[in-house]
Chain A
Amino acid sequence: MTETVTNARTTRLVVSRRKEGDDPGALRYDTFDVAVGPSTTILDALVAIRRELDPTLTFRHSCFHASCGTCGMRVDGREGLACVTPVPTRDEVTVEPLGNLPVVSDLVVDMNVFYDEFDEAGRPLVRADDLIPECAPAEGIDQVERYEDCIECGICLSACPVAGSDPRYVGPAALAAAWRLIDEPRGRDPGPVLSLMDDEQGAWRCHLAWECSEACPSGVDPAAAIMRLRGAAAAARVRRLFSFGGNR
């Protein structure tokens, strides 16, 4: 294991081994018995499996601290980042890839679909910080720079019941990214993004299940962003309605 523990227990990990092109109905799982300690995470356990039991196991990971967003997966059916999900104190734990994205191999999903939608929102990576009161800029400093909270992990998309039933839905991550651009345009015209998301497959498709905000490991609250997008879209429609002689 990745740490020295005296009170190690053994947990059985039941890991999905589907490959690209497999019949989605044909589920295949392998089981691995792993010694775990009190702070062993699902990612630690997967790394140990790959090192000691099966070098062919594939999964995504990079930063090990909930910053890169690569290790999103489902543990006993619930979405989470493997690097900050402790191995539950149960005899058996099931680990599966994120839902609503194509599986490439084992726990690896194809993120291209996610980024295609995400890219449409066109949100920059770095923003000016106006949301973190504990670290407001010092007097005399105009603003500080800060990465956006969204770590592009795909967990919200996996947790979303609408995305599960309708692949045309833009999805919570892209909508939340769009809202960030509209909320803080940073010199860009937010109009086109708002029009894009003011669509029946955009902001209006959400069912208010709030699963995305529940599952987000990075405090983004996509559901609230979708509600604000709706407000902005409705306001823009009203403005258009009354802009006689305007250019629309």
Chain B
Amino acid sequence: MTTNLPRQPFHVAIVGGGGTGGALAHDLVLRGFRVTLVERGELTSGTTGRHHGLLHSGARYAVKDRESAVECIEEREILRRVCPGTFEENDGLFVAITDEDVAYEPLFVESCLASGIPARRVSREEALRLEPHLNPDLKMAVQVPDATMDAMRMPLRFFASAKAGGAVIRPWTAVTELLVADHLVSGIRVRDLTNGVEEEIQADLVVNATGPWAEQLAVMAGCDVPIRPSPGVLLAVRGRWCNMVVNRLHPSGDGDIVVPQRGLSVVGTSSWVVDDPDDLGVPEDHVERMYAEGAAMIPAIRTAERRAAWSAARPLIGSRDADSGRELSRTFKCFDHRETDGVEGFVTISGGKGTTLRAMAETTADVICRKVGVEAPCQTREVVTLPHTAYYAA
């Protein structure tokens, strides 16, 4: 299935060991590039690992963000193919609790279908049969092909494949400096936190795949990335209160999703904006809201034991004037800093979400190929990734 593309004489340094960085390393290795990826902590320890574990059908975005919705349903199908055995494919239910929710249904279903997302109206009785713990007062529901992912193990498949293909993956390696001279980025200076050794890594291109930290890294090269770190609070309670992903059938809001994960149910999320993605906090009133809104869909959540509450920062692209983050698109963007800041050798990929990690990588690798004048087609739509355990193979 894979074509053995000729080795390229180019070395790409990727900063950021989240899902995007991992998928990009995999993509570039398949296109023949030499790749080094550095991450200051454990892989997926930033935003990637903290998300609620939803493999989006795209239904959540269908009404207001068609571009993201179409991206999601396409990527969902590709990921199922290249990451077999990695998802709980039990579908999702969007449940209508109020008359207002019911009134939202025609637009919702129509928008899903127009985005290529299968959506089926389900009666109250059938919904309760499918998921007996749902609020018995629900009016009706819509079934869509949502699924659950393991927020760390799915991306690890890309890291495992990249590593097996020759990429050097270095967790616990912090970037201390971007090597910049005359508007050209020529590499990174890093400190290996496991032994304190500092060194320079020369690269033909440096990719900023640091998610909500993108702005912090970009300023090291005098560049600007209009990123808004937009955290949300998530709550995990004990008990698997649903097998399908349960969403509230209404415009995107707080606490409107419950994702089953092993013996836990994860309720998410809220949305606000911060300046420093390292200092999010977990506002207790948001946790309370997760309990209340989650219980509106699944009453047992009200009294379920709290296992954990945490915050994750979405890397949303957009105006710094945004105040809640909800108004910003969930799609992604690749910035070639030669075009935006007159700085060569430096590319930022940001925005997006777990479900679209592969597409983000493809877009970025296309930009990289164009920049260095290499013609090498993307292969990540077809190449099956290695199991996550292969990352740890000696």
Contacts and interface: CB of A to CB of B under 8 A. Distances in A.
Interface of A: 2-4, 19-20, 39, 41, 51, 55-56, 58-68, 70, 83-84, 104-105, 108, 111-112, 114-116, 118-119, 124-126, 129, 132, 134-135, 137-141, 144-149, 151-152, 218-219
B3 to A, nearest CB: 29
A125 B388 contact: yes
Contact of B150 (A41, A55, A59, A147): A147
Contacts of A147: 88, 148, 150, 261-262
B142 to A, nearest CB: 17
Contact of A125 (B53, B133, B150, B242): B150
Nearest to B263: A219
A124 B281 contact: no
Interface in B29-83: 41-45, 48-50, 53
Interface stretch (B179-187, B305-313, B318-326): B305-313
15 contacts: A3-B281, A4-B281, A20-B195, A61-B42, A61-B45, A62-B48, A64-B49, A65-B236, A67-B53, A68-B49, A70-B42, A139-B129, A145-B87, A147-B150, A149-B262
A67 B262 contact: yes
Interface of A is mostly: loop
Contacts of B333: none
Interface in B215-264: 234, 236, 239-243, 260-264
A211 B179 CA distance: 51
Given A19-B194, A65-B234, A51 B279 contact: yes
Interface of B: 41-45, 48-50, 53, 85-90, 129-133, 148, 150-153, 172, 174, 191, 193-196, 234, 236, 239-243, 260-264, 266, 278-284, 307-312, 387-389, 392-394
A34 to B, nearest CB: 15
A132 B152 CA distance: 23
Nearest to B149: A147
Nearest to B46: A62
B129 A125 contact: no
Nearest to B280: A2
A84 B308 contact: yes
B177 to A, nearest CB: 14
A67 B241 contact: no
Contacts of B129: 138-140
A119 B195 CA distance: 29
Contact of A135 (B48, B194, B241, B311): B241
A135 B240 contact: yes
Given A63-B49, A63-B50, A125 B263 contact: no
A120 to B, nearest CB: 11
A218 B196 CA distance: 35
A59 B172 CA distance: 9
A144 B243 contact: yes
A59 B239 CA distance: 28
Residue of B53, B90, B242 with most partner-chain A CB within 10 A: B90
Contact of B152 (A41, A62, A83, A115): A62
Contacts of B131: 138
B236 A145 contact: no
Contacts of B241: 134-135
Contacts of B263: 132, 149, 218-219
A152 B284 CA distance: 30
Contacts of B194: 19-20, 58, 104-105, 108
A117 B282 CA distance: 38
B88 A146 contact: yes
B393 A39 contact: no
B130 A138 contact: yes
A62 B42 contact: yes
